[in-house]
Chain A
Amino acid sequence: MKNCLTILFFLIAAANVHAQHQHQAGGEMMARDVNVDHSVYHLDAEWTDHREKPITLNEFSGDPVIVVMFYGNCTEVCPILIRDAWRLYNAVDEKIRQSVTVLAISFDTENDTPQVLADYANYEQLDLPKWHFLTSNQSTVRSFAMMLGVQYAKKGDGHFAHSNLLTVLDEEGRITKRVEGLNQPVKEAANTIELIIKNGEQP
């Protein structure tokens, strides 16, 4: 019996190591479940955008917001993640798109200064009025990521393993839609955004 338990223990441990190895090799971390009743605007912290402007998240209340977390030095999936955010933004009806804000938040608080983010936004041709590339201190970024269910971890080579997630916040900062993975269909999320805007316009 004792032998069986020992073998079982080693099998489970081996399976964990294998799973961890696969996970790290892919560099992708699955997003966690989140509480959709809470507003992320309760996070009372200061951010700085790529225009060096100090920002608090509750400034965006009243409009739908697309959030994407990334880092500028990423040479794997982040450019595709940013493209996905842009694809979702573009999928919203052009007549009401100006009501949508996009927050691209870096979890590389060490390297992604406002100037670096400005260069990134310019390079990606996304220095658009309602687009904000944001940075803050490490604990604020970590807290915000937890609220969104985004996981990230710095690796030995300076790069990050992370979740690939687009989040749509409603006019009060509650999570109303999540699109996990790369190159996913965005029509449903765009419909959600349009609904938020239309509901907000009703008297």
Chain B
Amino acid sequence: MNSLFILTLASTMWISSPNVTDTVTVEITGLSSEARFQPAVVQVDPGDVIRFVVREGLHTVTAYHPDNRRPRRIPEGANSFYSGLLEKGDVWFWEAGPAGVYDYYCLPHERMGHAGRIISGSFKNIPDYPVGQIPNAVIKTIDKETRNFLAKQNP
């Protein structure tokens, strides 16, 4: 019994150790205007890995960055990213870069508001990114989902 307790304690410490990277899952669901990242806003630590799993449809995970012909909405010094086309059953991994907020979108469904936000590090310093040439539907999704996320942190 004692050995089981020690084993449980040891594994808990390993999982919660700040030096070990965590993996967070974001599911990609829905077709056309129903396409969604779930959860749309996630908070991780720099170096954590996010696992994107496609449940249905054709999607991408694309950074708001000039490399993708979009305004920059990721931290200065962070690398742009693009998953390529993902189909049902595909899994794509992305490692969180330096602390800051990373906004991203699905290339085929951007105009329908299919977008998400990754907060790397503290959620207390969310920047006011310029809207630029981004569809209103995306801004609406990101603002709404960020409000919902923050409400859960400060109930």
Taking Cβ atoms with an 8 Å cutoff, the residues of A that contact B are 74-80, 83, 86, 122-126, 182-183
User: B108 to chain A: which residues have CB within 8 Å?
Assistant: 74-80
User: B84 to chain A: which residues have CB within 8 Å?
Assistant: 183
B58 touches A76 (CB 8 A): yes
B109 touches A123 (CB 8 A): no
User: B49 to chain A: which residues have CB within 8 Å?
Assistant: none
B69 touches A80 (CB 8 A): no
Query: Closest Cβ of chain A: how far from B25's Cβ, in Å?
Result: 24
Name, among A75, A80, A126, A182, the residue most crowded by chain B CB atoms within 10 Å (CB to CB): A75
- Contact partner of B107 (CB less than 8 A), chosen from A83, A122, A123, A126, is A83
Dominant SS at the B interface?
loop
Q: How far is the CA of A111 from the CA of B70 in the complex (A)?
A: 25
A80 touches B107 (CB 8 A): yes
Q: How far is the CA of A3 from the CA of B84 in the complex (A)?
A: 50
Q: How far is the CA of A83 from the CA of B60 in the complex (A)?
A: 12
A-B contact pairs, 19 of them (CB 8 A): A75-B32, A75-B109, A76-B58, A76-B108, A77-B85, A77-B108, A79-B107, A79-B110, A80-B85, A80-B107, A80-B108, A122-B133, A123-B111, A125-B69, A125-B70, A126-B69, A182-B85, A183-B84, A183-B85
Given known pairs A75-B32, A80-B108, the reply for A86 and B69 (CB within 8 Å) is yes
B91 at the interface (CB under 8 A from A): no
Binary contact track B105-120/A, C-beta < 8 Å → 1, others 0: 0011111100000000
Q: Which of B109-155 contact A (CB under 8 A)?
A: 109-112, 133
A80 touches B60 (CB 8 A): yes
Interface size of B by CB at 8 A reads 14
A75 touches B112 (CB 8 A): yes
Query: Closest Cβ of chain A: how far from B87's Cβ, in Å?
Result: 9
A125 touches B133 (CB 8 A): yes
Q: How far is the CA of A126 from the CA of B70 in the complex (A)?
A: 11
B85 touches A123 (CB 8 A): no
User: A75 to chain B: which residues have CB within 8 Å?
Assistant: 32, 108-109, 112
Query: Closest Cβ of chain B: how far from A123's Cβ, in Å?
Result: 7
Query: Closest Cβ of chain B: how far from A124's Cβ, in Å?
Result: 6
Q: Which residue of A lies closest to B107 (CB)?
A: A79
Query: Closest Cβ of chain B: how far from A157's Cβ, in Å?
Result: 10
Query: Closest Cβ of chain B: how far from A170's Cβ, in Å?
Result: 28
User: B69 to chain A: which residues have CB within 8 Å?
Assistant: 86, 124-126
Q: Which residue of B lies closest to A78 (CB)?
A: B108
**Apart from A75-B32, A79-B108, what are 10 other A-B pairs with CB-CB below 8 Å?**
A74-B108, A75-B108, A76-B58, A76-B108, A77-B85, A80-B85, A80-B108, A83-B107, A123-B133, A125-B69
Q: Which residue of B lies closest to A27 (CB)?
A: B58
User: B58 to chain A: which residues have CB within 8 Å?
Assistant: 76-77
Q: How far is the CA of A183 from the CA of B85 in the complex (A)?
A: 7
Q: Which residue of B lies closest to A181 (CB)?
A: B85
User: B112 to chain A: which residues have CB within 8 Å?
Assistant: 75
Binary contact track B68-81/A, C-beta < 8 Å → 1, others 0: 01100000000000
Q: How far is the CA of A76 from the CA of B70 in the complex (A)?
A: 19
User: A83 to chain B: which residues have CB within 8 Å?
Assistant: 107
User: B107 to chain A: which residues have CB within 8 Å?
Assistant: 79-80, 83
Query: Closest Cβ of chain B: how far from A68's Cβ, in Å?
Result: 15
